[in-house]
Structure 1
Amino acid sequence: MVKIARWNHDGGTQSGFVDGDSCYALPAGRSVQALLEAGLDETLSIARETIGSVPAVPLADVRLLAPLVPGTIRDFVAFEEHVEGVRKSIDGVAGVVPEWYEAPTFYFTNPHTVTGTGEVIGIPAGCEDLDFETEVAAVVGRVPGSDGCNLTAGEAHRHIFGYTVLNDWSARDLQRREMKVSLGPCKGKDFANTLGPWIVTADEFEDRHDAEGFLPISMAVEVNGQRIGQDLLSNMGWPFAELVAYASQDSVVRPGDVLGSGTCGSGCLAELWGRNGSKTPPPLKTGDVVRMTVEGIGTIENTVGTRRDAVTRVPARPRPRSRVAAAAPSGA
């Protein structure tokens, strides 16, 4: 199994491959992004040349980072069960809107606040309802001869370089306020996303796709050692190839882009709040440990930190409704 990672060791950041309990660094100046630009076939060749031919560093001696610095992050909402539960929690309305079934829906989130496994995630200012979202993300790589535009599902499948675990951290109370303006989420999602622990290359899953292109691999989340939710990735409404193809329509996907599956069924607190009619289990608090595991990929774990107290929100100034400019003074 080829696993691509970034890590800190002896005060420096390195990129390379994880094989078993050992890390093998790429030469200085080579990065994960360079592998994504090279494409999957070339990366597998580089991995064969690198593993065992350079000094190994024990995995236990490094601190894993997010496995890449994404160019963009598109996060879909591809699980029907999740949509139903969260809509009840946020909007107080049962059911799934008909538009969800018509085409995949996603939002762009912040690539600059990506974190890795083991990092502490602070609670954003004004947030009382901190939540997690259990997801898998596909990472886009280069395909020779393709510009990444207007891809078919078959072409898009070849652009999937690998997969990683994604925790789309969510400030639900901020999100509820923002989405009442029919836009967002913005600060409800802006503060953190966790990716990791590494990228597992797509060839490792090639024989696991079902006849429709879905991956029936297990996803699970725990808080403080207690199981909160579990689902199969194959319960998505669309396979990843169709999500990548849809993202590319009248647009482009590039090496280093990340596309999230959206939260699996029972994979966040807000969905359970909607079903239970109360905030049970309770929102995350300082000191809580969130652990997500995806079959065939690995585990990410983060601790919730303290809340930032300063709230920078500024109310709008009331404005007059006149739409006619005042007449210019005579003689002006």
Structure 2
Amino acid sequence: MKLSTFEVKTSLGSAQRIGLVLFPPGSDPNTQAPTLVDLNAAYAWMLLEAGQKPCPQRWADFLFPADMRAFLELGEPALDAAREVEQRFLAVLKNSQPEDLWGGAGQRLAFARHEVTLKTPVPNPKMMRDFLSFEVHTANGFKRRNEPIPDAWYKMPVYYKGNPHTLIGHDEPVMWPSYTRIFDYELELACIIGKQGKNITAEKAADYIVGYAIMNDFSARDIQKHEMMCRLGPAKGKDFCTAVGPWLVTADEIKNPRDLRMIARINGEVWSDGNAGTSHWTFEQMIEHVSKEEWIYPGDILGSGTVGFGCGLELDRWPQAGDTLELEITGLGILRNQILQP
């Protein structure tokens, strides 16, 4: 199941909704435009049609708020209801176009891709952490400083805490920070936490992952270098923007998150090509480490860190203003952003 946060235009301005991303059966998600089903409106319509529950809109408002984090906090009951909508609308859309589907009180039930603006799947996570889990990427970074990987890196999955307020989604522009001369991309896999927990063992950690998405951890390399010379950060070298998207793919759709091809294209040219399974640390180990005497919450985002040779720093090639960045990961789609000069 693919879950999204999107905006639609109304007579009162833009409205944020959470929805299902549906593709025609057998189609290629990387070339076929999806349909976005408004979960709230679709569920209310289903209940009204079935006539099984009173006040169908109130049930829909409870299970499908406009905020993805609030939805994930409801846990399995809300996810199960979303699966009901998915099964119903896979059948409905075989014989109908999105613009023809209307519910009660003049509500649109579904939208064509060009009618909506995709946002990052979880726009307001409580916390975003990004790890350094790929040995090749780590080794390349220390090699530039003529240093070996420190022994401590092999003893715990280290991470920094990013800025959850500067997340963007698919096709949203990323602004080149006014204070940097060296802009970079980073090809990463992200997992999204689905339930609250503390002191979680690696053996049980998979139960806390609701799904996965693509992450582009944009970097201001010159600023990052100066910050980390002081043994602190990164901060301004990273916090200006991070892209996560294009949607959240639930964990049950990803057969093996340790075998996902990861590709980065700059203006259509492949710069990076790796695999998620080459990471030294797994998401389960990351969750165990993070949750030691510390709570994790639904909607929290964990980034894998950059796959080997997954950024310009390792390639000594640098994206420029005006470039289009496309990150693709098996089963997760394509995350595209253009760099804009402020």
Whether the TM-score (by the shorter chain) exceeds 0.5 is yes
Q: How many residues align?
A: 286
Is 1:137 matched up with 2:180? Answer: no
Is 1:124 matched up with 2:177? Answer: yes
- TM-score by length of structure 2 reads 0.80
Is 1:33 matched up with 2:69? Answer: yes
SS at match of 1:112: coil
**Pairing partner for 2:18 from 6, 15, 19:** 15
Distance in 2 (CA, whole Å) between partners of 1:292 and 1:40 is: 30
Tell whether the 8 Å contact from 1:135 to 1:262 is kept in structure 2 after alignment: yes
Closer, same or farther: CA 271–94 of 1 in aligned 2, 3 Å = farther
Which residue type is aligned with residue 229 of structure 2? Answer: K
Tell whether the 8 Å contact from 1:40 to 1:141 is kept in structure 2 after alignment: no
- TM-score by length of structure 1 reads 0.82
Percent identity between matched residues is 33
**Pairing partner for 2:125 from 70, 74, 88:** 70
What is the deviation of 1:41?
6.1
SS at match of 1:14: strand
Q: Which has the higher contact order (CA 8 A, sep 6+)?
A: 1
Aligned to 1:98: 151
What is the deviation of 1:226?
0.9
Structure 2 gaps, min length 5: 24-33, 41-60, 93-102, 104-108
After TM superposition, which residue ranges in structure 1, 4 or more long, deviate above 3 angstroms?
A: none
Tell whether the 8 Å contact from 2:39 to 2:85 is kept in structure 1 after alignment: no
Distance in 2 (CA, whole Å) between partners of 1:17 and 1:198 is: 9
Which residue type is aligned with residue 14 of structure 1? Answer: R
Which residue type is aligned with residue 17 of structure 1? Answer: L
Distance in 2 (CA, whole Å) between partners of 1:49 and 1:221 is: 33
- Which of 1 and 2 has greater Rg? 1
Is 1:167 matched up with 2:225? Answer: no
Q: What is the RMSD of the two structures over their aligned residues, measured on CA atoms?
A: 1.6
What is the deviation of 1:215?
1.5
What is the deviation of 1:300?
0.7
Aligned to 2:30: none
**Pairing partner for 2:340 from 305, 308, 314:** 305
Tell whether the 8 Å contact from 2:39 to 2:82 is kept in structure 1 after alignment: no
SS at match of 2:222: helix
Distance in 1 (CA, whole Å) between partners of 2:290 and 2:217 is: 19
Tell whether the 8 Å contact from 1:16 to 1:32 is kept in structure 2 after alignment: no
Q: Deviations over 1:143-193 (max 9, x none)?
A: xxxx51100112211000000100000000000011111101110001000
Aligned to 1:262: 305
Return the structure number with greater helix share. Answer: 2
SS at match of 1:111: coil
Tell whether the 8 Å contact from 1:39 to 1:161 is kept in structure 2 after alignment: no
Aligned to 1:48: 84
Structure 1 gaps, min length 5: 274-280, 308-332
SS at match of 2:341: strand
